[in-house]
Structure 1
Amino acid sequence: MERFERSGLTFDVRDCGPADGEPVVLLHGFPQDGTAWSGVVPLLHAAGLRTLVPDQRGYSPGARPRSRREYTLGHAVDDVLALLDAADLTAAHVVGHDWGGAVAWVLAGRHPVRVKSLTVVSTPHPAAMIRSMTRSTQGLRSWYMLAFQLPWLPELLMPGRMFDGLRRSGLPAAHAEHYAQMMQRPGALGHALNWYRAMPFAAGQKAPRSRVPTTYVWGNKDFALGRAAAEWTADFALADYRFVELDAGHWLPERRPEQVAAAIVERVSSTS
């Protein structure tokens, strides 16, 4: 399968690995696409797992709704459900990084019967994130979320500076160049930023606790996501829970693919 559809939108997806392997859905964040998992996917295939890696809404050229209201996590969760339906899967193991991690948390909380296990990379549970905003330095770390609410100015200033900014944040050069070039395509950056600009429309909507077996992988040098939210995430996982702390930064799928893959394989094998 190379594409799937939902509500008139067409999503690109990379469906690879053993056809009879346990299915694993991997969700990327900002400003990535499915290639964020390029170092992880072969290791999962070697472990006998099938991988489905979509380019999420705003990133797939055929899935770019114009209204920022259509970029709330609820819409993104429904996209994953549509992917599972298109692949004829009752449930799958779900992995997410950055915004993809937020989608994964909400999916597991709202639709646990569709999620065999959960592995979230970098992103704390949304409720832990909210708690940390006023009880730690997380609010200062998240200043960019407020800046991204501005109309047109981020699209004007960011494209020419994105490569250098991503490199300074610790992303490998090859990935930084790919993401920066992707965001320079017409309309791409604005649609990706709509994930942030949709946040006001989700105010007051609580993310349920995870009721599926869950592993949370966090880098203690993450520039965007601090320790407080990472440690409080345990309060929002009701099933078997494992916290993996790495001596690393934010870009764990690109920087630490072996350790990320090992965490996924361990969680899948302990659940299947």
Structure 2
Amino acid sequence: MNTPVNHQRRNILGTIVSGIAAAQLGIAGSADAVEAATATAGMNRARTPAMTTAGNTFPVIRQIRAGLLDVGYVDAGPADGTPVVLFHGWPYDIHAFVDVAPILAAAGYRVIVPHLRGYGTTRFLSSDTPRNGQQASFTADAVAFLDALKIDRAIVAGFDWGARIATTLAALWPRRFVALVSVSGYLIGSQELNRKPLAPKVELQWWYQYYFATPRGELGYRENTHAFARLIWELASPRWRFDDATFARSARSLDNPDHVAISVSNYRWRLGLAPGESRYDNLERRLAAFPDVGVPTITMEGDANGAPHPDPANYAKKFTGRYEHRHLAGGIGHNLPQEAPGAFAQAILDVGRWV
């Protein structure tokens, strides 16, 4: 389903409200944030993404004990607003949404952005807990996190690992997670599916997955985490002109003591080279059935996404409710929320009206 949208009018509105919200939230560099959002949202069909500024930051990181974790998270906007939960990917962090949050907050949403396990200020409560990165572990973390916040109904959105988390939530608990925005669409997987080889050119895009399968790769990522992550940013978003300070702002989150173990576990589990935990067996069985997503959904893709991603035509049928796919031209890469914050925020505002 493709609904005509006056993107220019809505993006202008988004820019105005983002300036108001940034001031209210105390986000430093709010004028730069508005300028970047305007360039990427209003002009993304005609130009390459603008360089984002590292001047805007989240002023307060909260902590809450939830399940196995002490989760670090952002909670912005009115406390009584409809919750929108945003999930980041690898190797990024919550700052992928630093220019998205003010737009949503000004529109009346409560914006919640957690650091995933292995990122930022999120920590395991016990040293004995396996540093497991399997698919269902993140799903379970998200449910426990929202239980701890006493949130029983929310819109969910994300990209990369975060898109997978958001999609699993919307697919398995549609009465609780009532709408979805997913960059690169339907990313739910299984170990059985991942046993099947892909075309050689596609396998080449997954080079780091095979690197992490080796002891050399694990040591290499541990010794060169920031340099490795920056290379991934550059390959995944070849036309995104981010500066050193912007990368450094997010790279600090990768200094989490569990980051390397979680990252390596995630990719090894996908290939069947690392076992999962029995506590997640039921969740993995449900996900391995590739459930349909029946809640209102907008999927998105940038025309310059250099990371592995599926063709939208191959996953559209998995979304059985009201559905729209949005393709962003103009050099938008893998980290779509940070490269085109206005367009990403607008998708959430639009899908929220469908609920």
TM range (shorter): 0.7 to 0.9
Find the counterpart in structure 1 of residue 11 from structure 2: none
Task: Kindly provide the amino acid, as one letter, of the partner of residue 118 in structure 2.
Answer: G
Distance 2:189 2:130 in 1: 25
- Out of 57-66 and 248-257, give the one that drifted further: 57-66
Instruction: From the superposition, tell whether residues 110 and 38 of structure 1 become closer, same or farther in structure 2 (CA, over 3 Å).
Output: same
Residue in structure 2 matching 1:76, options 129, 138, 141: 138
Give yes or no for the alignment of 1:209 onto 2:274.
no
Structure label with greater radius of gyration: 2
SS of residue in 2 equivalent to 1:113: coil
- Out of 10-19 and 131-140, give the one that drifted further: 131-140
Find the counterpart in structure 1 of residue 326 from structure 2: 244
Instruction: From the superposition, tell whether residues 9 and 233 of structure 1 become closer, same or farther in structure 2 (CA, over 3 Å).
Output: same
CA offset at residue 124 of structure 1? Answer: 3.7
Give yes or no for the alignment of 1:67 onto 2:130.
yes
CA offset at residue 221 of structure 1? Answer: 1.4
The RMSD of aligned alpha carbons is 2.8
Residue in structure 2 matching 1:178, options 243, 249, 255: 249
1:159-209 residue CA offsets vs partner (Å, 9 max, x unmatched): 252365155333522332223343345443333333323322478833311
Give yes or no for the alignment of 1:191 onto 2:262.
yes
Give yes or no for the alignment of 1:9 onto 2:69.
yes
Find the counterpart in structure 2 of residue 95 from structure 1: 157
In structure 2, the gaps of 5 or more residues are 1-60, 277-283
Give yes or no for the alignment of 1:45 onto 2:105.
yes
Find the counterpart in structure 1 of residue 208 from structure 2: 144
Q: 1:109 touches 1:208 (CA, 8 Å); kept in 2?
A: yes
Q: 2:181 touches 2:300 (CA, 8 Å); kept in 1?
A: yes
Find the counterpart in structure 2 of residue 165 from structure 1: 231
Instruction: From the superposition, tell whether residues 256 and 262 of structure 1 become closer, same or farther in structure 2 (CA, over 3 Å).
Output: same
Give yes or no for the alignment of 1:155 onto 2:221.
yes
CA offset at residue 123 of structure 1? Answer: 4.9
Q: 1:57 touches 1:76 (CA, 8 Å); kept in 2?
A: yes
SS of residue in 1 equivalent to 2:182: strand
Q: 2:118 touches 2:258 (CA, 8 Å); kept in 1?
A: no
TM-score (norm 2): 0.67
Instruction: From the superposition, tell whether residues 126 and 67 of structure 1 become closer, same or farther in structure 2 (CA, over 3 Å).
Output: same
CA offset at residue 229 of structure 1? Answer: 3.1
In structure 1, the gaps of 5 or more residues are none
Moved beyond 4 Å, runs of 4+: 130-133, 184-187, 201-204
CA offset at residue 16 of structure 1? Answer: 1.1
CA offset at residue 154 of structure 1? Answer: 3.4
Instruction: From the superposition, tell whether residues 77 and 167 of structure 1 become closer, same or farther in structure 2 (CA, over 3 Å).
Output: closer
Q: 1:116 touches 1:213 (CA, 8 Å); kept in 2?
A: yes
Q: 2:67 touches 2:141 (CA, 8 Å); kept in 1?
A: no
Residue in structure 2 matching 1:106, options 161, 168, 180: 168
Q: 1:216 touches 1:243 (CA, 8 Å); kept in 2?
A: yes
Task: Kindly provide the amino acid, as one letter, of the partner of residue 266 in structure 2.
Answer: W
Instruction: From the superposition, tell whether residues 185 and 12 of structure 1 become closer, same or farther in structure 2 (CA, over 3 Å).
Output: closer
Instruction: From the superposition, tell whether residues 83 and 74 of structure 1 become closer, same or farther in structure 2 (CA, over 3 Å).
Output: same
CA offset at residue 103 of structure 1? Answer: 1.0
Q: 1:5 touches 1:82 (CA, 8 Å); kept in 2?
A: no
Task: Kindly provide the amino acid, as one letter, of the partner of residue 246 in structure 1.
Answer: L
Task: Kindly provide the amino acid, as one letter, of the partner of residue 149 in structure 1.
Answer: A
SS of residue in 2 equivalent to 1:71: coil
Find the counterpart in structure 1 of residue 4 from structure 2: none
Instruction: From the superposition, tell whether residues 159 and 32 of structure 1 become closer, same or farther in structure 2 (CA, over 3 Å).
Output: same
Residue in structure 2 matching 1:24, options 70, 84, 90: 84
SS of residue in 2 equivalent to 1:112: coil
